[in-house]
């Protein structure tokens, strides 16, 4: 599980890679992050020099709407391919703890196939735009979704806090889906030299989004039952209206 690693890459150590069994595919397991997987996959080093037409990253357990895009390893896998000029889609399923199942991930994959096929047609015809990649979020009731909807990235966020714990591994799920109050594997590895260390676990304080956001924002549309399709770019530019302010500040220094 590489939830919450964002665009982290492996740099100081070698990346381990091995063949794995996935029916109908030539597949490899990689020791690194989603961005590492995308980078190695498009490098031509694994597939006899072949470079893919399209990179798919996911499906993630938990939505990647709003500000979760910043933290998401799934989105970063698609972003890494996009940076190197390969069309890419990131896909996430709005998992509900205690309600969703592994089969829902299969259904979520199936409802994305028409969109993937449409993108492939555009790529093959040379008409697919190169200025963005797509972030797709599938609603909890994937089998009864309301259709695809082009959306904008909003400000949805599961706000994170901290609580002290006596366990080294208090959560076995992702930062989005975990029941943060349930402790998992009890720490048995702390030696006597670290017995006085303070341990903390992440807890979800609240989930929030700007209620003034429009109907075309990603999280609100997802919550309304749509499969959201959000074009993203790699740049993190500030809003244009703040530029004059900072120019004026610099002129006074």
pLDDT at 174 over 60: no
pLDDT confidence of 209, banded at 50, 70, 90?
A: low
Q: Phi, psi at residue 54, to the nearest 5°? A: -150, 140
**By C-alpha distance, which of 51, 13, 228 is closest to 140?**
228
**By C-alpha distance, which of 217, 230, 179, 182 is closest to 62?**
179
Give whichever of 3-17, 73-87, 174-188 has the largest mean pLDDT.
73-87
Rounded mean pLDDT of 111-128?
97
Model confidence pLDDT, tens digit, residues 44-64: 999 889 999 999 999 999 999
- 238 vs 149, which has greater pLDDT? 149
Going along the chain from its start, the domains and CATH numbers come out as: 17-156+212-251 (3.40.1210.10)
Q: Cα(59)–Cα(101) distance, rounded to whole angstroms?
A: 13
Q: Cα(139)–Cα(187) distance, rounded to whole angstroms?
A: 36
Residues 6+ apart with CB under 8 A from 212: none
Cβ distance 42 to 51 under 8 Å?
yes
Rounded mean pLDDT of 103-130?
97
Q: Cα(5)–Cα(199) distance, rounded to whole angstroms?
A: 20
pLDDT at 169 over 80: no
Model confidence pLDDT, tens digit, residues 63-112: 999 999 999 999 999 999 999 999 999 999 999 989 999 999 999 999 99
Rounded mean pLDDT of 219-248?
93
- 209 vs 144, which has greater pLDDT? 144
Percent of the chain with pLDDT over 90: 70
Model confidence pLDDT, tens digit, residues 26-44: 999 999 999 999 999 999 9
Rounded mean pLDDT of 197-209?
83
Rounded mean pLDDT of 175-194?
45
Q: Cα(65)–Cα(176) distance, rounded to whole angstroms?
A: 11
Residue 241 has a pLDDT of 87
Q: What pTM did the predictor assign?
A: 0.86
């Amino acid at each position: 599980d590489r939830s919450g690693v964002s665009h982290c890459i492996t740099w100081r150590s070698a990346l381990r890679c091995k063949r794995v069994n996935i029916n109908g595919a030539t597949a490899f397991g990689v020791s690194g992050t989603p961005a590492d997987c995308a980078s190695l996959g498009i490098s031509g080093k694994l597939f006899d020099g072949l470079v893919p037409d399209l990179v798919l990253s996911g499906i993630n357990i938990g939505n990647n709407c709003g500000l979760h895009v910043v933290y998401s390893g799934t989105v970063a896998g698609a972003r890494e391919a996009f940076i190197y000029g390969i069309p890419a889609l990131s896909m996430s399923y709005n998992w509900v703890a205690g309600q969703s199942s592994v089969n829902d991930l299969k259904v979520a994959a199936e409802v994305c196939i028409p969109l993937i096929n449409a993108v492939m047609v555009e790529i093959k015809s040379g008409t697919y735009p190169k200025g963005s990649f797509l972030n797709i979020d599938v609603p909890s009731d994937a089998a009864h979704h309301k259709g695809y909807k082009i959306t904008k990235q909003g400000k949805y966020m599961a706000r994170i806090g901290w609580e002290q714990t006596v366990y080294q591994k208090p959560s076995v799920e992702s930062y989005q889906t975990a029941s943060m109050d349930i402790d998992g594997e009890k720490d048995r590895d702390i030696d006597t030299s670290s017995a006085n260390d303070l341990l903390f676990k992440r807890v979800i304080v609240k989930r929030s989004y700007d209620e003034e956001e429009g109907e075309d924002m990603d999280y609100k549309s997802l919550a309304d039952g749509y499969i959201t399709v959000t074009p993203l770019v790699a740049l993190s530019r500030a809003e244009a209206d703040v530029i004059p302010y900072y120019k004026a500040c610099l002129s006074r220094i």
